[in-house]
């Protein structure tokens, strides 16, 4: 029996190997949405009779209803979501055989994927905004708590814990811009590009684009079916977001250890040990950090898939969605659980303060005080550094030194300098825009809420 140009049926092993139903069935609603727009256009342009288009559209609605109620179960033998829907449509309404007029699975798949992905990304923007709001709330809650700030994992300068939370708000705000760029980059409609060269039929691509809520039809039919740039734009957002999450998790895991102990994680987001009764393990943070590699790997997977492909469509691209779905599901789950966890994190102010008091993180304040006395910064840096060395050798903290001892090392030391040598004063006096000063943090929180409310 002939099947088009083929004399034999496709081998069952090949059907099983090439099917994509396990990947694309989740897009059934988006596929039907694209088909309804396509058939409306066919009826509008006269390619189909208006009554034919209406019957096909009605049949598509019936297929959707059957899927949603569980009446229709797809068959792997029909390869993918698109063929399953078309086959069932044709059983319900024989005119369904005309649905594919002026359309290839190449532009159909590209359209369906964009519709589905657009919906998921819109949902992610809402989740990300909620996550950012949680960080603003945490900043408000902890704005007056002072913690050690670190560089090279060494105590550097005191900072407001609110300022720390705001640093992640800024990182996620950049992620939000990347996410919106991904949304913008997918918002061209592929329908009408056909297999690669468009169609001889008088398709109205503007109509289908408008019906489906795209900004415009995709401009070049070859590029339309070949490009997966819009997926890469999402993957880059997802990878950067997860890198930010991973670094955040490392901070909180470290600060929750007994050695640091100034961050208190909520019990509900930690687990115990099967052997050691005393353990409180930060599993949510560790798993979130661990999932980062998977998300980055999904980006690399698609990059490598694309790098050797000739124009235009190649079956390799069927594999573009496996990693995409996995990444979407991971990012969505991480956003939600991290938001819930941060909402309950507390800080032990006494412990965080004691860590600062025992160290020398006010050394920069001393050097800058000397600068205001007219001493060149490099000289002030050297003088203060020598003092730190002496303190370490003699096991004495800044707070334990008398004014007379200060003067032995820094002749310019005076009562005014002594008054600034506290973590509170150190933070308060850092009052330049974007700094950790208490007043600046308040302004940043207010500005953060305004920026968040203004997001499109």
* Residue 100: how many other CB atoms lie within 10 Å: 16
Structure tokens at 159: 């900072």
Structure tokens at 51: 């009554």
Which residue in the list 13, 152, 274, 402 is annotated as catalytic? 152
Q: Tell me how far apart the alpha carbons of residues 358 and 344 are, in angstroms, rounded to a whole number.
A: 28
Q: Tell me how far apart the alpha carbons of residues 74 and 71 are, in angstroms, rounded to a whole number.
A: 10
Q: Tell me how far apart the alpha carbons of residues 101 and 201 are, in angstroms, rounded to a whole number.
A: 9
Q: Tell me how far apart the alpha carbons of residues 298 and 325 are, in angstroms, rounded to a whole number.
A: 9
> 220: closest CA among 256, 245, 264, 188?
188
Q: Tell me how far apart the alpha carbons of residues 292 and 368 are, in angstroms, rounded to a whole number.
A: 41
> 412: closest CA among 364, 455, 369, 446?
369
Helix (H) or strand (E) holding 156: strand 154-160
Q: Could you give the dihedral angle defined by the CA atoms of residues 24, 7, 198 and 204, in that order, rounded to the nearest 10 degrees?
A: -70
Query: 112-138 burial, b for 16+ CB within 10 Å, e for fewer?
Result: bbbbbbbebbeebbebbbebbbbbbeb
> 24: closest CA among 76, 81, 74?
81
CB burial class (10 A; 0-12, 13-18, 19+) of residue 218?
buried
For the question of residue 239 being annotated catalytic, the response is: no
Contact 381, 395 (CB under 8 A): no
Structure tokens at 320: 């573009």
> 42: closest CA among 169, 232, 204, 167?
204
For the question of residue 152 being annotated catalytic, the response is: yes
Which residue in the list 58, 123, 216, 273 is annotated as catalytic? 273
Residue 155 β-bridge partners: 150
Prior bond to 312 cis, omega within 30? Answer: yes
- φ, ψ dihedrals at 278, nearest 5°: -80, -10
3-state SS assignment for residue 216: strand
- Only one residue has tokens 């949603």, namely 68
> 82: closest CA among 28, 41, 6?
28
Residue 347 β-bridge partners: 263
Q: Tell me how far apart the alpha carbons of residues 29 and 43 are, in angstroms, rounded to a whole number.
A: 21
Instruction: List, by residue number, the catalytic residues.
Output: 152, 273
């Amino acid at each position: 029996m002939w099947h088009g140009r083929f004399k034999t049926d496709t081998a069952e092993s090949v059907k099983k190997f090439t099917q994509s139903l396990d990947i694309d069935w989740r897009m059934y609603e988006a596929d039907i949405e694209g088909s309804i727009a396509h058939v409306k256009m066919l009826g509008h342009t006269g390619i189909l009779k208006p009554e034919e288009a209406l019957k096909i559209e009605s049949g598509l609605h019936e297929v959707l209803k059957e899927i949603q109620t569980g009446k229709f179960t797809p068959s792997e033998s029909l390869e993918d979501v698109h063929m399953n829907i078309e086959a069932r449509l044709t059983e319900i309404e024989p005119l369904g055989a005309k649905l594919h007029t002026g359309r290839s699975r190449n532009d159909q798949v590209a359209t369906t994927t964009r519709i589905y992905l657009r919906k998921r990304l819109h949902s992610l923007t809402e989740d990300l905004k909620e996550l950012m709001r949680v960080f603003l709330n945490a900043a408000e809650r902890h704005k007056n708590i002072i913690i050690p700030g670190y560089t090279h994992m060494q105590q550097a300068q005191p900072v407001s814990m609110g300022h720390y939370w705001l640093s992640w708000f800024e990182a996620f705000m950049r992620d939000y811009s990347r996410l919106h760029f991904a949304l913008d980059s997918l918002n061209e409609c592929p329908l009408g590009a056909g297999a690669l060269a468009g169609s001889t039929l008088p398709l109205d691509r503007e109509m289908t684009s408008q019906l489906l809520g795209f900004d415009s039809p995709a401009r070049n039919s070859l590029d339309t079916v070949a490009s997966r740039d819009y997926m890469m734009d999402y993957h880059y957002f997802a990878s950067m977001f997860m890198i930010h999450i991973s670094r955040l998790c490392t901070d909180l895991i470290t600060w929750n250890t007994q050695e640091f102990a100034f961050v208190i994680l909520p019990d509900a987001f930690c687990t115990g040990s099967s052997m050691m009764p005393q353990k409180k393990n930060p599993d949510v943070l560790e798993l979130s950090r661990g999932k980062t590699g998977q998300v980055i790997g999904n980006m690399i997977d698609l990059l490598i898939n694309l790098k050797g492909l000739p124009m235009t469509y190649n079956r390799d691209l069927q594999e573009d969605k496996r990693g995409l779905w996995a990444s979407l599901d991971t990012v969505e789950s991480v956003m939600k659980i991290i938001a819930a966890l941060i909402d309950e994190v507390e800080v032990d102010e006494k412990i965080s303060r004691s860590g600062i008091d025992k160290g020398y993180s006010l050394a920069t304040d001393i050097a800058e005080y000397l600068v205001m006395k007219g001493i060149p910064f490099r000289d002030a840096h050297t003088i203060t550094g020598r003092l730190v060395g002496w303190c370490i050798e003699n096991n004495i903290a800044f707070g334990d030194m008398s004014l007379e001892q200060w003067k032995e090392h820094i002749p310019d030391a005076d009562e005014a300098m002594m008054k600034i040598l506290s973590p509170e004063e150190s933070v308060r006096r850092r009052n330049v825009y974007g700094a950790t000063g208490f007043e600046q943090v308040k302004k940043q929180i207010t500005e953060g809420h305004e920026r968040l409310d203004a997001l499109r």
